[in-house]
């Protein structure tokens, strides 16, 4: 069984192979039947999109899914994360889809589980399936990665989406810049003023402010933020003609993105969600391959 922990572990060839399979599932030209396999979707942090699109991907591949709810689990009886995951491995699950607030939570599990660990997000660290669905959406739009410019805007420092995309997009030959208020910027991540980035990027990727990862020290005014760093209709008009808008969601309308922009012509946000199913099907297929 093959884990999927970070995209940095994968070569460009492996990433393209996953995207090819995902495109095959999208087009209906690729078939795969994983009957007899069992998955446990273990979300120790909130999730709607990732959790339920993994669920739909599993349904489409005939994988049976064991339901898990952290709130009613024996973690209430002080059972640890490690022992909880070990249980699902011990009872015979083939896939462990895991999201945890702890960066690199998977390191403690390696060598201790037989199932494939599919990382559905580790704190501010990695979100490999989100990046893969972002890449699939970009490839469908532009037919290539090389030479494209992507601006990632918002709470860069606390975003696993930004960290994962920054690494993989540069490896794929894209130019990646980040933008947003100083308090959310990170060293070495190519800062560019929002106005410049908007006018020169092929992809404008907006991020949600990750309030749950702030320690209370962040002063935040949502109207001020919207005025300075929000993607408003006025800002969309400054984008290149063929440029697209992406967002991993959940989005906060009226904060990082204006209500009327969410479904405008340039927006690919719901397309990203649809692609999430195909990418997760490809990742499940890959996990059982030799």
Question: Which residues bind to ligand NCD, rule: CB under 6 A?
Answer: 49-50, 121, 127, 130, 160-161, 208, 248-249
CB of 67 to ligand NCD, least distance (A): 19
Instruction: Output 37 or 39, the one with its CB closest to ligand NCD.
Output: 39
CB of 249 to ligand NCD, least distance (A): 5
- The two three-digit tokens of residue 76, written as one number: 């209430």
CB of 277 to ligand NCD, least distance (A): 13
Instruction: Output 48 or 108, the one with its CB closest to ligand NCD.
Output: 48
Instruction: Output 50 or 275, the one with its CB closest to ligand NCD.
Output: 50
Q: Which residue is nearest to ligand NCD (CB)?
A: 208
CB of 124 to ligand NCD, least distance (A): 9
Instruction: Output 239 or 255, the one with its CB closest to ligand NCD.
Output: 255
């Amino acid at each position: 069984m093959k884990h999927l922990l970070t995209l940095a572990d994968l070569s460009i060839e492996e990433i393209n192979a996953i995207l090819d399979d995902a495109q095959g599932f999208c087009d209906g030209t690729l078939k795969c039947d994983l009957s007899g396999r069992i998955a446990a979707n273990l979300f120790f942090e909130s999730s709607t999109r990732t959790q339920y699109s993994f669920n739909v991907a599993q349904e489409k591949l005939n994988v049976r899914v064991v339901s898990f709810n952290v709130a009613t689990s024996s973690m209430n009886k002080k059972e640890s994360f490690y022992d909880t995951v070990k249980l699902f491995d011990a009872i015979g699950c083939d896939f462990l889809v895991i999201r945890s607030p702890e960066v690199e939570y998977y390191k403690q599990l390696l060598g201790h589980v037989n199932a494939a660990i599919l990382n559905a997000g580790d704190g501010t660290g990695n979100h490999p399936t989100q990046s893969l669905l972002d890449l699939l959406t970009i490839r469908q739009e532009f037919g290539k990665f090389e030479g494209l410019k992507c601006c990632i805007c918002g709470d860069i420092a606390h975003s696993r989406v930004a960290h994962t995309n920054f690494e993989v997009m540069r490896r794929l030959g894209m130019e990646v810049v980040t933008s947003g208020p100083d308090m959310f910027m990170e060293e070495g991540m190519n800062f560019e003023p929002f106005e410049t980035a908007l006018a020169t990027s092929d992809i404008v990727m907006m991020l949600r402010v990750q309030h749950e990862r702030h320690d209370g020290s962040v002063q935040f005014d949502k109207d001020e933020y919207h005025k300075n760093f929000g993607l408003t209709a006025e800002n969309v008009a400054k984008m290149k003609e063929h440029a697209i808008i992406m967002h991993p969601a959940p989005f906060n309308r009226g904060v990082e993105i204006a209500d009327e922009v969410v479904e405008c012509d340039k927006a690919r946000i719901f397309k990203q969600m649809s692609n999430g199913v195909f990418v997760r099907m490809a990742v499940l297929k890959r996990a059982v391959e030799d």
